[in-house]
Homo-oligomer: A and B are copies of this chain.
Amino acid sequence: MKLFEHEAKDIFRAFNMPTPSGGVAMTPKEATERAAEVGKPVVVKAMVLAGKRGKAGGVKFADTPQEAEKFAEEILKMRINDLPVEAVLIEEKLDIEQEIYAGITIDRNERKYVVIGSAAGGMSIEELAEESPEKIIKMYVDPSLGFQAFEARQMAIAMGFKGKQINQLGSFFLKLWKIVEAYDVELTEINPLILTKDGKFYAADARLNIDDNSLYRHKAIIEKLKREPVDQNERERLATENDMAYVELDGNIACICNGAGLTMATLDAISLYGGKASTFLDLGGGADAERVEKGIEIALMYPKVKAILVNIMGGITRCDDVARGILAARNDGDITAPIVIRMVGTNEEEGQEILKKAGIPFLKTMEEAASKVVELVKEVA
C-alpha cells in the first residue's frame, strides 16, 4: 500500500522526524488558508500516487497565498499517470543548503533490509546509481540485531557529514528504520531530505510503501487513513477484490492464464508471433468455473481488448472447471470478442469434452494458441 506524501509525513512526525510546516488542502480555498498559516513562500504539491509528478507539472512554488490558490486550482484538476490528483500539500519552501537522499528498502539477494543514503539527493536514485554510483552509501541491516544508532551515524559519516550533523542525520536514519520496523515498510524514501542554510534537516518529501501482505497487522493505520488503496483504476480494483493478478498493457490481446510465470510466457509468445498483449490476468491456483467467468468479464472491460487467449496448465486447477466457466461466460453473452482456448493437465479430457459439446474450439499447445489469437486479431482489424 502506497501512502500519500502527507500520510507518510504524519507518520514521520509521530516519530519526531522534522518536516516542513504546512498541511493538506482538498480545495483551492483550503490551499490559500494553508499558505496563509505558513506565512512564507510555499510549495504546492500534487498528492498522487505516481512518480515524476514534478516533471508532469504537479509541483509549483508560490510566493503568496493567492498564488498558492491559483496553483492548487491548476494542480487539483490534473491527472498524473492516468490517476486523479486527490489533494495538494502546501508546505513552507525551505532555504536549501543541500539536498540529500535517504531511503530503506529490501535487498532481495541479501534477503535483508538495506539503508541507502547519498549526499547528492534530489534526483532519482536510479539516475544517481547510473551517474555517480560512488555517491550512494548502502548498509545492510543485521536481521537479528536490527539497525543500530551507531550504524545510522556511520551512514552520515560515509555520506561526508561532520560534527553535530553526524548525530542529526544519523537520528533521521534511525527514525526511518523504526518506522520501517513498526509498519512493515517495504520501501521508504526521503528525496530530498533537505539541509537548510541554518543547519537543520527536514524531510521535504516522503515515500512510504507498506507491504500489502502485512496490512492485517496495521488495521489501526488503515482505519486512520480512512481509505482503500487508491492507485488503481476500476478494473484493477475489481481484479484485486477477486484476488487476481491483473496488469494492463498497450496491446489488444487479453491473456487469461493460471500462474504468473505462465501468464508472462503467454504474453511473450504472443509477441513472438507478432501480436501485442493488452492484459496480464493470472487467475491464481485452483480457479473454479465462476472465477474463470469473472476473469473473462474483467478482461473484457478494458476497451483495448480485441481478442482473448485463455491458457491453462491444469495442476490444482481442473480443466473441466475452466471449460464450464468459459461456457457460462459464453451462454451469458459475456464474450464480446474472439476467444482462443488452450487447456491441458488435470481433467483435460473432461474439459475438452465440455468445450467440444458446446462447439467451442480449443488447442493443445500454447504456441498454436498464441499464433492463432494473433491471426484472429489481424482479421478483426
Contact = CB atoms under 8 A, between A and B. Distances in A.
A213 interface: no
> How many copies of this protein are present in the complex?
2
Interface of A is mostly: loop
A144 interface: yes
A144 B144 CA distance: 5
A174 to B, nearest CB: 14
A145 interface: yes
Contacts of A145: 144
A144 B145 CA distance: 7
Interface residues of A, number: 2
Nearest to A142: B144
Interface string A144-164: 110000000000000000000
Nearest to A146: B144
A193 B233 CA distance: 51
Interface in A130-189: 144-145
A57 B280 CA distance: 73
Nearest to A143: B144
Interface string A69-90: 0000000000000000000000
A172 B370 CA distance: 56
Nearest to A145: B144
Contacts of A144: 144-145
Interface string A241-263: 00000000000000000000000
Interface in A29-63: none
A140 to B, nearest CB: 16
A184 to B, nearest CB: 16
2 contacts: A144-B144, A144-B145
